[in-house]
Amino acid sequence: MTDTSRFGPATLGLHAGQSPDAEFGSRATPIHFTTSYVFPDCDTAAARFDLARTGHVYSRISNPTNAVLEERIAALEGGVGAIAVASGQAALHLAITTLMGAGGHVVASRALYGGSHNLLTYTLPRFGITTSFVDPADPAAWRAALRPETRLLFGETLGNPGLDVLDIPTVATIAHDAGLPLLVDSTLSSPALLRPIEHGADLVMHSATKFLGGHGVAVGGLLIDGGTFDWQASGRFPTLTEPYEGFHDMVFADESPVAAFLLRARREGLRDFGACLSPMNAFQILQGIETLSLRMARHVANARTVAEHLAAHEGVVSVAYPGLPGHRDHALAARLMPQGCGSVMSFELDGGRQAGRAFIEALRLFSHLANVGDAKSLVIHPASTTHFRMSAEELARAGIGEGTVRLSVGLEDPADLLADLDRGLAAAARAAGRTA
């Protein structure tokens, strides 16, 4: 039994967080395209600023459309609440800066989305926050990387693009034994397939740009707080347990032991860094979430078909998809994601970079672009695009080769997808000097 409520994920995806509005009874979520909100009187204005009354003040801090999205994703994930932000990158940045400042340290899986890798490797060190990267499948490596100044453990449910499955229960135990929280990027699995908080994660983030939206029209990010981590008992999070001068000496963990993280992230992080989400994007992402359960089932079915087809093809050296028995994390995936492990996969073409180029350029249905999780099928060559800043050694460690191609399998008719892939594979074979 999930402890979120008695409702299932399809129902929550359609209803959670929204009540028909009091004025018109609108069934769909209205788009509150407004920067600010008229106060009924001066007393209410002051009380809203001082967190003595509920209600919105300014759309950088909160917005009624965004609130529906936040509450809906929190319900799907089993969290006490969420914050909608401008992008997945903003969600990761908000999580880290809420928990630590200069001197802080993160232990992260080295199988990460390239953008997260950039933020942790190149950008945050300029602000005094450093990261150690570890093999996500090696518990001893996670433990060994912990330092007195570590404040967060971080990994992806499905490491992009090698598709390593994060052993959330094991890494959560390592984190909790050290008095630290675990943040999980759940972008590639979505709550339709995996709810990390139920497995021990404390914080969850999404690039809502991907499966949650599903349509590929809106960039957005979400940060969810499970409400499970005891900041006071840990004693390592003065941002949450000591008076904050920037908000009338509020002690967030005293104000709300279960929502302290969200309070600080909104009252400081959104207020000062300002990476808020447009209500238009929030609306579009909500439209996507309404059909998330249905879409993920179809994504998984199509991905299985594609993975099996590729694995059986002579021009393919290997396929990385945890749904296949040969994947290193197949058993773990079956345990954590019994309904399937998403629709992103990568595979290695015989013939290296040349074959990869020919393959991608011969495809007609798969769009060559830098995204995943669209309803439409997508393809990219990570070594020359999303992960181009990585050294050859880092690429190898992240499981990316010269001939690695990443697919995000969409919702098209499976026969059409296979025909398109066969066209690409034939072109790859010609480029590699083989007859298809």
Partner 1 sequence: MSGTAHIYRAGRPDAEGPVVVFVHGAGHDHSVWNLPARYLARHGYRVLAPDLPGHGQSAGPPLPSVEAMARWLLALLAEQGIAQATLAGHSMGSLIALEAAAQAGAAVEGLALIGTGVPMPVAPALIDAARDNRAKAHAMINQWSFSPGALIGRGAVPGQLAPVGNLRLMARQAEGVLHADLLACDAYQGGLEAAARVTCPVLIVCGQRDQMTPPRNLGSLGDALSRDASRLMIHTLDACGHAIMAEQPDALTDTLVHWRSSF
Ligand X SMILES: Cc1ncc(COP(=O)(O)O)c(C=O)c1O
Verify binding: residue 46, partner 1, rule CB under 8 A: yes
Q: By C-beta, is 59 or 187 nearer to ligand X? A: 187
Looking at beta carbons only, is 52 or 396 nearer to partner 1? 52
Q: Name the binder of 116 from partner 1, ligand X, none, CB < 5-8 A by kind.
A: ligand X
Which position among 9, 64, 114, 196 is part of the footprint of partner 1 (CB under 8 A)?
A: 64
| Nearest to ligand X of 32, 406 (CB atom) | 406
* 144 binding partner (options partner 1, ligand X, none; Cβ < 5 to 8 Å by kind): none
Quick one: what does residue 7 bind among partner 1, ligand X, none, with the CB cut-off 5 to 8 Å set by partner type? partner 1
Residue 8 binds to partner 1 (criterion: CB under 8 A): no
Residue 54 as a binder of partner 1 (CB under 8 A): the answer is: yes
Q: Enumerate binding residues for ligand X (CB under 6 A).
A: 87-89, 113, 115-116, 156, 160, 185, 187-188, 207, 209, 219, 221, 372
Smallest gap from residue 10 Cβ to ligand X (A)? 24
Tell me, letter by letter, the H, E, C secondary structure of the chain.
Answer: CCCCCCCCHHHHHHHCCCCCCCCCCCCCCCCCCCCECCCCCHHHHHHHHCCCCCCCCECCCCCHHHHHHHHHHHHHHCCCEEEEECCHHHHHHHHHHHHCCCCCEEEEECCCCHHHHHHHHHHHHHHCCEEEEECCCCHHHHHHHCCCCEEEEEEECECCCCCCECCHHHHHHHHHHCCCCEEEECCCCHHHHCCHHHHCCCEEEEECCCCCCCCCCCCCEEEEECCCCCHHHHCCCHHHHCCEHHHCCECHHHHCCCCHHHHHHHHHHHHHHCCECCHHHHHHHHHHHCCHHHHHHHHHHHHHHHHHHHHCCCCEEEEECCCCCCCCCHHHHHHHCCCCCCCEEEEEECCHHHHHHHHHHHCCCCEECCCCCCCCCEEECHHHCCCCCCCHHHHHHCCCCCCEEEEECCCCCHHHHHHHHHHHHHHHHHHCCCCC
For residue 354, state whether it binds partner 1 (rule: CB under 8 A): no
Task: Tell which one of 9, 13, 68, 377 touches partner 1 (CB under 8 A).
Answer: 68
Minimum CB distance to ligand X smaller for 313 or for 387:
387
- 262 contacts which partner out of partner 1, ligand X, none, CB within 5 to 8 A by kind? partner 1
290 binds partner 1 (CB under 8 A): no
Comparison of 120 and 349: residue with beta carbon closer to ligand X: 120
Q: By CB under 8 A, tell whether 98 contacts partner 1.
A: no
Residue 3 touching partner 1 (CB under 8 A): yes
Q: Does 206 contact partner 1 by CB under 8 A?
A: no
By CB under 8 A, name the binding residues for partner 1.
Answer: 1, 3-7, 11-12, 15-19, 46-47, 50-56, 62-64, 66-68, 70-71, 74-75, 78-84, 226-228, 230, 232, 248-250, 254-259, 262, 266
